[in-house]
Amino acid sequence: MEQFLGIDLGTQGVKVIGWDEEGNFLGSTSREYPILTPQIGFAEQNPEIWWEKTKEAIKELVNLIPQVNVKAIGFSGQMHGTVIIDDNLKPLYPAIIWADQRSHQEVKIIREKLEDKLATICGSDVATGFMAPTLLWLKENQREIFNRIRWAILPKDYLKIKMGLTPSTDVADASSTLLFNIRKRNWSEEVLEILGLNDNIFPPVYESTQVIGQMKEEVKEELGLKGEVLLVAGAGDQHCAALGNGITEEGELLITIGTGGQVFTPLCEPLVDDKLRIHTFCHAIPGFWHLLGATLCAGLALSWFKKSVLDSPLQAFDFKELDQEAQKVEAGSHGLLFLPYLIGERTPYMDPRARGSFLNLHLTHGRAHFIRAIMEGVCLGLKNVTEVFKELGVEPQRIVFSGGGAKSALWRKIMASVLDAPLFTTQVREEAATGACILAMMGTEKSSEEEIISKIIRYGNPVLPERKAAEIYAEIYPKFRDAYPALKKLFP
């Protein structure tokens, strides 16, 4: 029986999952690693730590499989980040990841230089942490190191080099650099020339399902792997999470509440918002594109409130306990409204200076009201994203809810009622890593993605909106939408 592994190189840790060709789950393992913040606004990681932790996770998973026969490995990874390496394929500098904010001046420069090309070529507005402004920051502030760059690659692609391949990337992840022509599905010579970047430092680009090589024998031996162990190009974590939730067709929406929140939908043709409120990138499915809207602070908002406001040296609250407490509060939190812009906001405002707030506070509000208001505010923020999708002509036919938020019964009910639509969830573990596994299967089998996905993904009964709650949220949403412009002048 042939087996497939999926590796998801995330922001806080790496996850490795295994499935066999019949869709049987083999196991999953993970390892954590830190985000380094040497200065305010910096967010870095050590690529060698990524590799060491990935090896540990693979070895642990191999020990869970009775007869190892790995056909292929697929890759998923945190998007936008930058790894610069020299002629010997060694890192020249710590990886600068998506959460980094040092390049805010370079973001302004790129907007001024590219103007309408952001929409016509790149399909997206630019933000700090993307590869384009990061490289310009390195050119301005670390010139000696910048001049030694042989390759500029995305985070997950470093793992493939450690497995024995020459530098490469895929169309889906490369789209998130803002140096890519999403329609031609290749690096944009025009954008690189305008920004003064040498096109020779960017690796060859493949479709996400392409087999791009085979793991070196010495690496296979070190990891305890047996079989062909072909390496498939892979994609960004959002693309893989969509596959891992069975999202493959136009009209299907994936809503994720993790640390941040995302709304994702596939496209048969590139569709770009001329206001640049959302991203249009190439999809991991060959010949497809997708829309991606993001709210920066979703599960993070509730985690912040628990850790920074509620927890004390004498008592640490449990998320399940808080969830149960918030269920006792009626929809609308007795008028309490939360704006989840604790670290700025992407869709639809693209405003790094936006700030969070509680509105309509009253003496009758207690802890449970705050908890529920946070959950409702995150869902209302994600509704803001879906409204942009609808404005662009996307009519949701099916909505799948995933991430840590989808594990909460209350959050599922709130999200369904805010959208006034049924929500589906899957029982899949580690959706992004599973999506990477599906890419490995697609790249090495003759089966279509639909046949492969049908073996792995099952949906439960949908969560239906509660009628009274849906009516309350329909009244609240215009107030939520009006709050940002009303408060914008107060933001620092």
Give catalytic residue positions.
Answer: 237
DSSP codes, 168-217: -EEHHHHHTTT-EETTTTEE-HHHHHHHT--GGGSPPEE-TT-EEEE--H
169 strand-pairing partners: 205
Residues 227 and 68 sit within 8 Å (Cβ to Cβ): yes
Q: Which of 348, 250, 248, 338 is nearest to 294 (CA)?
A: 348
266 strand-pairing partners: 290
Task: Give the type of residue at 386.
Answer: T
- The set of residues, in sequence order, having a beta carbon less than 8 Å from that of 421 and lying 6+ positions away, is 396, 399, 465
Q: Find where tokens 């705050």 sit.
A: 370
Helix (H/G/I), strand (E/B), else coil: 426: strand
Q: Which of 52, 156, 15, 54 is nearest to 97 (CA)?
A: 156
- Residue 337, both tokens: 């409204």
Pairing assessment for the beta strands 398-402 and 95-96 based on DSSP bridges: unpaired
Residues 129 and 96 sit within 8 Å (Cβ to Cβ): yes
- Measured distance between the N- and C-terminal CA atoms of the chain, rounded to whole angstroms: 59
**Distance (Å) of CA 399 to CA 249, 253, 424, 440:** 12, 5, 6, 25
